[in-house]
Structure 1
């Protein structure tokens, strides 16, 4: 009775074995052919090939290390600042200290986020091997080596937004005084293209790479804070400036939520969606940076927060941000929302993005009353 069944499974496994054998042979054939050609060549030809292969191994090993090892990444990075211990809001005179004003927590965090992104880590988007892609295919269109780059772009999107607000509103008295030159320089440097290497084709020639501009912005922010500490510059911690900052950050999250929604609805291919990981890690980087910036904003605008009794709503937002940052799957899946096999990490991240945006809207509405 069991002989036909046994024979059937034997034929199935034999067919699978033949298929795997053909696949391995197909993959190995170019290497075997290259080996045969290489074996018959002289050392004048063989030596440069060996050196080239060694160079590729070293370069891609270094590329693997730079993209997979993350320095300075800490979901509770705000704890080290102890912003709650600050005696006064940003720009106000520090009690008991002559000619000393409180520096800006927002500017401090913006500088530190940038430092983590381009100094403690390599800025991946403008490195040569990342720009070359995987045999000509953009790394963002593969499931490999793009998570860190997407995270960095999410972080810098928030820092870029803050640089605009600092130059246009926060570093001026009611928008009537001149723009602070340091904040203006920081904003200009943060607008630079994300993917510029030392050499480019459009236009053709040598260039200053992207990280150099971002590093210059760090110096400008720290110069501004140094001047603020000696009361030589201003920080206008008014309610309407906080409203504007919250509104801009909320708008950015709205755009991200729409990107996550469309990707989740139109490309729910589970673990086989090669763009799901960079969508996820961009939004993760955005929330990571917003958590730090918003914690700093609470310290800079402490008088406004206390007067308008925003503490409870702000605590709710902090909890949502902390919850989002705990979602760190090893492999990003973009499955169907009612699927039972492959999870839907994009929908999960989209939920947190919308919750944080809703909290920002609540804060803005309270301030608008």
Structure 2
């Protein structure tokens, strides 16, 4: 009897074939889901969202500060309810294998935290010794909860509590005659204190993005002061430049997507500031400065034409997406410096 005449093990072959088909289908499904979930959320209209939430006909009927607070709440809601939900704390595929969207979420979350802290400590307080708003005192800590907790309690559950507290603040903001009315003070000194934080965030992102390329330097200054009996005078200034540590190749896209998330969140916050601080911005002739920041961030969010983040060098054959992003953020940062100076001017 030849080998060809031996009975074939057909049941096992059928099982292996079935398992192969199922595995391939799961792999394709995971690929489709990860591609869908990696899509950046579209920008939203901060005015339309505020009108819808407040149930009024026009933004002129909305109290000052409502657009800003609602923008923060909606940014958090987008993080929680976009396609795929909040992905950073996923413990199952495909979310556990994704890194672009978690980096995007981190960038947006940091900006959200800064803006919520500014609302609690500055915008909603008349002076340094005034009592803080009770709902904002609840909302802010929830947004600082660890961003990658998947259970007991989950990150989503804690952030949702922060959103609910912001909504309670907004309800009280609409009812100034209630027992505990909410307040929002759109003053120049309040805005100046928040812009200081924005400058540091944008400067840090610009520096980290620039480190994706070779031959990037930072400027360090050492100043020595000599004291005498009447006046302190500058004795010596020593300036050096040192190369930045180049970003590892596997981290270039993470920093890029973090910057995209931060730009997306800050863009909406600036539009809300443009509405709620309109009077002081017009008085200080700073409306155009805010517009420059908004345009720069809008340009930084242009659609990406490549399936991967290119990291070319200088004027080479391929583009460097990180340096392009750094250019737009640096322009927004320069405008933020001007805005800080204008707000701090008497």
- Shift in Å, 1:120: 3.0
The answer for unaligned runs of 5 or more in structure 1 is 1-37, 88-93, 95-99, 134-138, 140-144, 199-206
Corresponding position of 2:108: 155
Q: Distance in 1 between matches of 2:92 and 2:31?
A: 7
- 1:235 matched to which residue of 2? 184
Q: How far is 1:103 from its partner?
A: 4.6
Distance 1:64 1:174, change over 3 A: farther
Answering whether residue 190 of structure 2 is matched by residue 214 of structure 1, we say: no
- How many residue pairs end up in the alignment? 294
Distance 1:196 1:107, change over 3 A: same
Counterpart secondary structure, 1:126:
coil
Please say if residues 146 and 155 of structure 2, whose CA atoms lie closer than 8 Å, have aligned partners that are also in contact.
Answer: yes
- Structure 1 or 2: larger helix share? 1
Partner of 2:128: 175
- Three-state SS of the structure 2 residue aligned to 1:274 is helix
Contact 1:267 1:334 in 2 (8 A): no
* Contact 1:268–1:334 (8 Å) recurs in 2: no
- Partners of 1:275 and 1:288 lie apart in 2 by 20
Work out whether residues 124 and 133 of structure 2, in 8 Å CA contact, stay in contact via their aligned partners in 1: yes
- What corresponds to 1:360 in structure 2? 336
- Structure 1 vs Structure 2 CA RMSD: 3.1
Cα deviation digits, residues 150-184 of structure 1 (max 9, x gap): 21211111101111111111122213222212111
Equivalent residue, structure 2, for 1:34? none
CA distance in 2, matches of 1:174, 1:55: 62
- Which structure shows the higher strand fraction? 2
Q: 1:42 to 1:76 in 2, by over 3 A?
A: closer
5+ residue gaps, structure 2, are 1-8, 52-57, 215-244
Residues 179 and 170 of structure 1: CA distance in aligned 2, closer, same or farther (over 3 Å): same
For residues 72 and 257 of structure 1, what CA distance do their matches in structure 2 show? Answer: 20
Question: TM-score when scaled to structure 2?
Answer: 0.75
Partner residue of 1:74?
A: 42
Cα separation, 2, equivalents of 1:76 and 1:228: 22
Q: Normalising to structure 1: TM-score of the pair?
A: 0.71
What is the CA distance between 1:285 and its match in structure 2?
Answer: 1.0
Q: State the distance in 1 between where 2:47 and 2:185 align.
A: 25
Distance in structure 2 (CA, Å) of the matches to 1:82 and 1:229: 12
- Counterparts of 1:114-153 in structure 2, within 5 Å, are 114-121=76-83, 122-129=85-92, 139=97, 145-153=98-106
Give secondary structure in 2 for the equivalent of 1:218. Answer: helix
Equivalent position SS for 2:309: coil
SS in structure 2 opposite 1:110?
helix
Query: Matches of 1:190 and 1:276 in 2, distance apart?
Result: 26
Note closer, same or farther for the CA distance 1:248–1:214 as it changes in structure 2 (3 Å cut).
Answer: same
SS of the counterpart of 1:129? coil
Q: Report the counterpart of residue 217 of structure 2 in structure 1.
A: none
Question: Does 1:305 pair with 2:254?
Answer: no
